[in-house]
Amino acid sequence: MQLVYLSHFSFPSIETEYNFNFSLQRTCYDTLYPFFILSKHALNMLDFEPVTILYGGNGSGKTTALNVIAEKLHLTRETPYNRSNFFEDYTGYCSYELRGSLPKESRIITSDDVFDFMLNIRALNDGINVKREELFTEYLDNKYSKFQMKSLDDYEQLKKVNMARSKTQSKYVRKNLIDNVREHSNGESAFLYFTEKIKENALYLLDEPENSLSPQKQQELLQFLEDSARFFGCQFIIATHSPFLLSMKGAKIYDMDEEPVDVKKWTELENVRSYYEFFKAHERDFS
């Protein structure tokens, strides 16, 4: 059953922003962010469906919109973001409407969160690689040693010697490595992060989730998100320019490159049309 937890979100108008007394509030900061980012595209309100996508190029404000919504709703997040000194002033002008209560599992997931997770996995795997090399050497030392047990203190070493003499090198290494740790590629790690963090019945804001994912993994993520929205009560607000994610069934797409921001079909978007025209021009090469 498809659900909507956040029905709409309102941002301050350009008139409201100009009426804010910046000199009274702050005098020593060189940025007014997030003021005058969304209003330059005349974005005053977003109405949400079970899946809503914010599409646009760099600087279009799609990530800013997600951060503002997450800040106003006090959503869980893991990594710091570009939160200027005016952020609290800006979100004070924002408003929203919920249908019922917001599930506590709701969160924002950014590309920085995924990147940090991949770094942690990589560091863990690097540790395993070092341990593996140590075990290769240990295996040879134990297999061909002239070890004799002299006391109970030698019992653990005796077990290693017997194991080395009874097993191949690969089986010895696998037996002594941490059993519950697996190595993952960057794409596998990124996809794993989404499947671990996204639970049933909650609101999720996803900022460019396609980063670090191959086209195949993007399609797997597409299916996972579609199923999560359709069968498991999740609502998604996604900032992306991935043609795969933009094709999500039933998604409402806001084109943040337009002024004012407009709702479009995914096949009408400039980025998608560019892909289409490129492959159409090279259609014979695929025959």
Give the pLDDT score at 82: 75
pLDDT at 70 over 90: yes
Give the pLDDT score at 31: 76
pLDDT at 167 over 90: no
Nearest to 99 by CA among 4, 10, 9: 4
Q: How far is CA 147 from CA 47, 165, 167, 174, 253, in A?
A: 74, 12, 17, 23, 70
Give the pLDDT score at 78: 86
CB-based burial, 179-218: b 16+ in 10 Å, e otherwise = eeeeebebbbbbbbbbeebbeeebbbbbbbbbbbbeeebb
* pTM exceeding 0.85: no
In tens, the pLDDT along 124-164 reads 455 555 556 666 677 677 767 776 666 656 666 667 777 76
Assign 255 a pLDDT band (cuts: 50, 70, 90): very high
Give the pLDDT score at 209: 93
For residues 198 and 146, what is the distance between their CA atoms, to the nearest angstrom? 54
Residue with tokens 């806001």: 254
Give the pLDDT score at 244: 97
Would you state the structure tokens that stand for residue 210, as one six-digit string?
Answer: 């396609």
Give the pLDDT score at 180: 39
For residues 107 and 53, what is the distance between their CA atoms, to the nearest angstrom? 16
Dihedral of the alpha carbons of 66, 71, 74, 79, in degrees to the nearest 10:
80
For residues 153 and 157, what is the distance between their CA atoms, to the nearest angstrom? 8
Residue 143 CA from chain centroid, whole number = 47
For residues 43 and 65, what is the distance between their CA atoms, to the nearest angstrom? 10
3-class state of residue 93 by DSSP:
coil
For residues 272 and 260, what is the distance between their CA atoms, to the nearest angstrom? 20
Per the CB < 8 A criterion, the answer to whether 56 and 62 are in contact is yes
Assign 59 a pLDDT band (cuts: 50, 70, 90): confident
Assign 268 a pLDDT band (cuts: 50, 70, 90): very high
Assign 181 a pLDDT band (cuts: 50, 70, 90): very low
For residues 43 and 73, what is the distance between their CA atoms, to the nearest angstrom? 19
Q: Say if domain 6-113+198-286 classifies as CATH 3.30.70.
A: no
In tens, the pLDDT along 84-118 reads 889 999 999 999 999 999 999 999 999 888 877 76
Assign 186 a pLDDT band (cuts: 50, 70, 90): low
For residues 217 and 114, what is the distance between their CA atoms, to the nearest angstrom? 14
Give the pLDDT score at 165: 73
Which of 29-33, 67-71, 107-111, 228-232 has the least mean pLDDT? Answer: 29-33
